[in-house]
Amino acid sequence: MIGSLRGSLAARTGTGEVIVEVGGVGYRLAVTPATAAALGTGGEVMLHVHTHVREDALVLYGFLHDDERRCFEALLGAHGVGPSLALNVLAVLSPAALSTAVLEEDADTLCAVPGVGRKTAARLLIDLKSRLDLPDLSGLTTGSPASERSPQAEARAALAELGYGPEEIRGALDGLHEEMGVEDLLRLALRELAGR
């Protein structure tokens, strides 16, 4: 199984694929339009790869960031989602935007993806809650030691668990009212991060 490729971008096809040449071998990878646009021609590129094996084909899917690959694999685990639909979701929604939609149970955001209707969106919201690496907000208001921390500290910890860096977290939480609850802080911060 191929986990990543580092080489030079040999070509972009008109069908949403790129060819990355590694040691004289050209690997064809399906990518989102944003990934294809971000790759510079001729220079060295590095893509995180999901290797998808079917009876009749071996298909490589490339991602600039590992969190995109993880989201893609979480989507594949959802009922009725194949690689094409999973790639469509990531072409429209960043991992942060997808996490926000799932946390807020926002079916309308998922319906903005071509090929996702109301029933599919509702099913995705259920399936992805257990598959995406989302912070557990259920115990934050109980008497557990974690809940003794301030709501800001809890939101910072939850965002760090999602993979955001200190600067991103500081920028997202800056200006939010400290009296707000953890869930509200987290929702607003994720919305801010998804919009960047």
Contacts of 24 (CB under 8 A, 6+ apart): none
pLDDT digits (tens, 9 = 90+) for 41-91: 667 899 999 999 888 888 999 999 998 999 999 999 888 889 999 999 999
CATH code assigned to 66-131: 1.10.150.20
CATH code given to domain 145-194: 1.10.8
> What is the mean pLDDT of the segment spanning 144-148?
45
Tens of pLDDT, residue by residue over 157-171, are: 777 777 777 777 778
Which part of the chain has CATH 1.10.8? 145-194
The confidence score (pLDDT) of residue 135 equals: 58
The answer to whether the beta carbons of residues 66 and 8 sit under 8 Å apart is no
Q: Write the pLDDT tens digit of every residue in 35-49.
A: 988 887 667 899 999
Distance CA 19, CA 13 (A): 8
Start and end residues for every CATH 1.10.150.20 domain found in the chain: 66-131
> Given the DSSP bridges, would you call strands 17-22 and 25-30 parallel, antiparallel or unpaired?
antiparallel
Overall average pLDDT of the 141-167 stretch: 65
Digit-coded pLDDT (tens) for 95-110: 888 888 888 888 888 9
Percent of the chain surpassing pLDDT 90: 27
Domain 4-63: give its CATH superfamily. Answer: Nucleic acid-binding proteins (2.40.50.140)
pLDDT band at 140 (very low <50, low <70, confident <90, very high): very low
Mean residue pLDDT across the chain: 82
Q: Give the residue-averaged pLDDT of 23-30.
A: 92
User: What angle is formed at CA 47 by the lines to CA 159 and CA 158, rounded to 5 degrees?
Assistant: 5
CATH 2.40.50.140 residue window(s) in the chain: 4-63
